[in-house]
Amino acid sequence: MSLTTDQRKHLEKRLHDERARTVQLLNSIVADRSGSSEQDASGDLSLMPFHPADLGTDTMDEELDESNATRATRELNEIDAALERLYKSPEKFGVCDDGREIPFERLDIVPWARTCD
């Protein structure tokens, strides 16, 4: 059974909502990174030099931001590809890469899913 028009509209809205959330997350990561760069450039208010543990924490935070940005960018690309599939061939949206139908319940959770499982 293929998706109904109402189900496709629901999934389109979910995709747009997830896209907006993901773009907001990416913007937040960029703003946090540029904010910390400005703070570093302005200097620490303390007269104490940086402790090596602080540098380690800063490095860990930067790597976490980078990882989150990479994951969010990948998700954004998947969402955009799903929207393109939905607009190009709405009757085929929700069909797995191997030709089986993806359950609506799965698409409702991950509307950009390409696989049945």
Position 90 scores a pLDDT of 94
Q: Across the chain, which distance is largest between two alpha carbons, in Å? A: 69
Percent of the chain topping pLDDT 70: 76
State mean pLDDT over 67-78: 94
Residue 40 pLDDT more than 80? no
Position 42 scores a pLDDT of 46
Q: Which domains does the chain have, with CATH numbers?
A: 1-31+58-117 (1.20.120.910)
Q: How many residues does the chain have?
A: 117
Residue 87: alpha-carbon gap to chain centroid: 20
More confident residue, 97 or 114: 114
**Long-range contacts formed by 21-26: CB under 8 A, 24+ apart:** 22/72, 22/75, 22/76, 22/79, 23/76, 25/68, 25/72, 26/69, 26/72, 26/73, 26/76
Average pLDDT over the chain reads: 85
Measure the CA angle with vertex 58, ends 53 and 60; round to 5°.
95
For residue 30, which amino acid is it? V
Residue 48 pLDDT more than 70? no
Residue 12 pLDDT more than 60? yes
Of 64, 79, 57, 1, nearest to 32 by C-alpha is: 64
